[in-house]
Amino acid sequence: MNRRIISTLSICMVLVLALAWICFAQPETPTAKSSADTARSRRGQWRERQQKALSEIEVQLTKIKTSMEASSGSRQRWQELSEEERNKLREQSRKMREERMKSFGVIEDQILMLKGRRTVYQEYDKSMGELSGILELAKKEKAKETTSAIEKLVAAKKMQFEKRMKELAMGERPRPRSN
């Protein structure tokens, strides 16, 4: 009977040890990224955004160049055209100019992306600081109409800036760096 108890206990011990081995020998799964991994990931994402922005700028520059080349040939024979042909040419020129302006806008947006969120916000703060100085001067001089006009301008600029940041998906204001 003692042999049965001993053999049963030894089998149970082997099973418990095998189960413990299986549970504790599992490879560790990272639950949280280290700060170095997070920073590396952000740098990788930043590089991707830079590459996308640069390629988009290249595409827009190509569009602008082809548009300008196409319009330069038509100006040389202006005197030879009839009034109807001139009107068509004017309409084409207007459409090409609008397309170029759209391309310039896209390039400006991509340059903002390349500058980065922190730089864009710093430039915004600088320009708004100048307006705030003028606003304080107007208040000091008790110029009500001027104060009102500047306050409207500041509010409009702020709304325009926030809208543009949302469109560019540049997100919230960055936290100040701790030195």
Task: Dig out the tokens for 132 from the structure.
Answer: 């705030």
- Which residues in the chain come in under a pLDDT of 70? 1-10, 12-33, 72-76, 78, 171, 174-179
Say what the pLDDT of residue 1 is: 59
**What is the Cα–Cα distance from 74 to 87, expressed in whole angstroms?**
12
CB 154 within 8 A of CB 128: yes
Whole-prediction pTM: 0.59
**CA dihedral in degrees (38, 41, 46, 51; nearest 10)?**
180
- Name the DSSP class of 77: T
**What is the Cα–Cα distance from 123 to 164, expressed in whole angstroms?**
14
